[in-house]
Structure 1
Amino acid sequence: MRLSQLINTIGQIYRAEHVGLMRGVARHFAWQIRRCTGAFPVDLTFSQSRLRAERACAVGALVNCLGMYDYNNMNLIKLLLTFENSVFFDVGANIGSYALIASEQAGRVVCFEPNPTAFRCLCENLSLNGRDNVNAINCAISD
């Protein structure tokens, strides 16, 4: 890890009001040790979901360190998707962090992921959480 990346990460931890600085930094260094030793897969808890990181990916690192991949936007999604008939489209779902957050709510989730490896991880994460309100599609979409 380069020094500039470390400074950026510590800055993100510092700005995350929901994460204590020492806790966040300790979790970050523990992740770096895990990354160097290849101790994967690992199941991470965030919100009401579990996310399995198959390898040292950015999504897993942020969930491990900050508790969520994108705290502000994910909390907004949780707030907006409280209605029974709401539908959330996750385009480029990756391993499913947004799909998992959205599927905690009452509505439906349709997610698209073109990469076969990421799609396999997405499906595994949906299965790990028992989410039956999600339709995962292995394809790319564009306008």
Structure 2
Amino acid sequence: MKKIFLSAVAFGVIAVAVTTAWLISDIVDWDLWDWEAPAPGSIVAQSIAPGKGNVASVIAMHRKGHYRFVLSDTRSGNIIAEKQIFAPIGYHAHIVTLRWGPRASRAIAVIDHDFGKGNLKFTLSP
């Protein structure tokens, strides 16, 4: 009799746990990496070099986390240098910033993909 009672209690606990998990999964969005990527071709970050006449841009590509890092001449619009960069998909949308090295000798793109722990840095020079 005691075994039947314990089995019934165990079954009840399991049933309550499964039901609770099922209800919570309908309420809570468990997909932590489901942030919306910028549209392909959109400029994610852009900065003009101080006194140099160059502009650095980070442009979203078709795959989430993939970007074109472009350095171009502001007067002619010609591309001086370009490369593809990538950051892993993290808990939040990428935060992309641009800064310039000493005497605007190179552009530096910084991508925060994990709340500031281990930001990725990419450099591009003419």
TM-score, normalising length from structure 2?
0.22
Please report the TM-score for the alignment, with normalisation by the length of structure 1: 0.20
| Structure ID, larger Rg | 2
Higher strand share: 2
More helix by share: 1
